[in-house]
């Protein structure tokens, strides 16, 4: 019985050594590319121009009303721009909070 215990201990020791060698001698692998990391800009391509604000739409003032816009599309562009910049519906162009600004305009 004592002999069997010594053999089992020797086998466990060999297994531990082989496992340790396998872990520490393994070649380092390149990490998989992370799609969430932004790619480096290509210097040969110009950076895209930010979209100009709709005419007269300055999210920090002066205050605008639906009557300041000629069309629903103009009002909607201003509404979406200010919301996208984090100002929210600063001009209260969406009276019923359905995401559509100045619904009465053509």
pLDDT in tens, the chain (106 residues): 666 777 677 777 777 776 766 666 655 555 665 555 555 656 566 655 555 556 678 888 888 999 998 999 999 999 999 998 899 999 999 999 999 999 999 9
pLDDT at 102: 93
Give the pair of three-digit tokens for residue 46.
Answer: 């110009």
What are the CA-CA distances from residue 68 to residues 7, 65, 78, 103 (Å)? 91, 5, 11, 14
pLDDT at 101: 93
Secondary structure E strands in the chain: none
Q: Looking at the whole model, is its pTM more than 0.75? A: no
Asked if 53 and 81 touch (Cβ cutoff 8 Å), the reply is yes
DSSP letter for each residue of 3-17 = HHHHHHHHHHHHHHH
pLDDT at 12: 72
Q: How many residues does the chain have?
A: 106
Asked if 47 and 41 touch (Cβ cutoff 8 Å), the reply is yes
pLDDT at 38: 58
Q: Among candidates 90, 87, 91, 89, which has minimal Cα distance to 66?
A: 91
Q: Among candidates 75, 26, 68, which has minimal Cα distance to 53?
A: 75
């Amino acid at each position: 019985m004592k002999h069997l215990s010594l053999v089992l201990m020797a086998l466990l020791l060999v297994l531990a050594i082989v496992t340790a060698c396998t872990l520490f001698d393994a070649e380092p692998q390149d990490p998989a590319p992370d799609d969430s990391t932004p790619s480096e800009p290509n210097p040969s391509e110009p950076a895209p121009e930010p979209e100009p604000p709709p005419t007269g739409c300055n999210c920090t003032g002066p205050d605008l009303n639906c009557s300041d816009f000629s069309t629903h599309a103009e009002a909607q562009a201003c509404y979406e721009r200010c919301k996208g910049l984090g100002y929210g519906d600063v001009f209260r162009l969406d009276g019923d909070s359905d995401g559509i600004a100045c619904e009465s305009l053509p």
